[in-house]
Amino acid sequence: MTKEFDVAKVKAQFPALHQRVYNNQQLVYLDSAASAHKPDVVLRVMDDFQRQDYSNVHRGVHYLSQRATDAFELARQRVAEFIGAKENEVVFTKSTTEAINLVAHGMADLLEAGDEILLTELEHHANIVPWQLIAKRRGLRIKVVPIHDDGRLDMEAFDALLSPKTRLVACAYVSNVLGTVLPVQEIIERAHSVGAQVLLDASQAVTHRKIDVAALGVDFLAFTGHKLYGPTGIGVLYGRYDRLQELPPYQGGGDMIDRVSFDGSTFKEPPFKFEAGTPAITEAIGLGAAIDWFTNLGIANVAKHEQALLTYAHEALEDFGGINFYGKSSEKVSVVSFTLDDVHAGDAASILDKTGVAVRVGQHCAEPLHVRLGVSSTIRASFAAYNEQADVDALISGLKVVRDLFA
């Protein structure tokens, strides 16, 4: 696709993508926005750790525990460098969902009845439900910023809804359904102007954009490992250190305590006070390896490759005809959500699967957005570093099979 990017060389590193399915057809994986596959190096690093260096981390004085702790904390360092944070601002969680719940749980103690939280119509359920839970418990008010028909956030409405009562703005960096890139710098600056904090769900952004939390000035940012070519079971919460200090612990148990007695307990400083119990050690190390792999590819190179694929896919689908696109913002990542005239999205996706093409179908954990779009479900094709034009061609061929069956 580009001189700087050898997609065949990249794809060769992903063993799962070379299998054949259904009558010996080549698997075409277009579902990386849900979860990306893992390159050989990530699988190997995790396997090597399990085979040779595994032990519990922290507090152990023996050789293996020290090696495991060093590897675990090196992964934290890798994450910090990747997003422009300090190491003590990186909290390991099991997912983006847990990271957002951690912040919501903590902020519940800091907010008062009548305080307001701003969300957007673009949000994943993981950035809606936690806030609803604390709003009900604490008497908070949730306001929702609408979008334009092309999927852009309505910034005039944002300004109108923002007020001195706004204590938090929680929004996606990139929509998981539409691929829309939100104007997060503007959002952060405007929110801070009224004293509100900002949490960004960056799960769909970290594989497409270089993120610098210090430059953004964001208060909290969350993402997950499995969308970043890493393992499941590991996520990241970035919190500005003073913000983390303000939050109470999310869970209690081993490793997050300073001292314990039956009269009361004291807790470690961040990030450790939020990491109760034995962490996902192997998974954190795998995430560190995934970040190294992705960084070595060059984020700008990957983004250029993906944007070229996005353009090619849009043009191919338009030429195919009978496609209804959702999300037409000029600022978007390599995600295409669509429906076909006169064919239910679920039926189309099931037939595509039988042709070897894996796409996501449904509401993509964004039911309110689909209500806004006036559609019950959409087909989502998402493109990653290992996808190529031939994958788009396979999608079009699969859609021809769908059309012929419903002709």
Cα angle 308, 209, 221 (rounded to 5 degrees) comes to: 150
- 159-164: long-range contacts (C-beta < 8 A, 24 or more apart)? 159/190, 161/118, 162/118, 162/190, 162/191, 162/194, 162/196, 163/116, 163/194, 164/194, 164/195
- Collapsing DSSP to helix, strand or coil, 126 comes out as helix
3-state SS class at 41:
helix
Angle, in degrees to the nearest 10, between helices 345-354 and 389-405: 120
Looking at this protein, which amino acid is placed at residue 22? Y
Nearest to residue 287, comparing CAs of 143, 112, 83? 83
Q: Cα-Cα-Cα-Cα dihedral of 364, 368, 370, 374, to 10°? A: 170
Tokens 């359920």 correspond to what residue? 125
Structure tokens at 326: 């959702």
Q: How many CB atoms lie within 10 A of CB 267?
A: 17
Asked if residues 42 and 231 have their Cβ atoms less than 8 Å apart, the reply is: yes
Say which amino acid occupies 396: I
Question: Which residues are designated catalytic?
Answer: 365
Biggest alpha carbon distance in the chain? 74
How far from 343 is each of 301, 339, 340, 363, CA to CA, in Å?
36, 8, 6, 16
d(C-alpha 117, C-alpha 199), whole Å: 11
8 A C-beta contact, residue 360 and residue 379: yes
Q: Is 167 helix (H, G, I), strand (E, B) or coil?
A: strand
The closest alpha carbon to 153, from 171, 130, 129, belongs to: 171
The token pair that represents 355 in the structure block: 């042709």
Residues in the chain: 407
Residue 264, strand partner residues: 261
From the centroid of its chain, how far is CA 237? 11
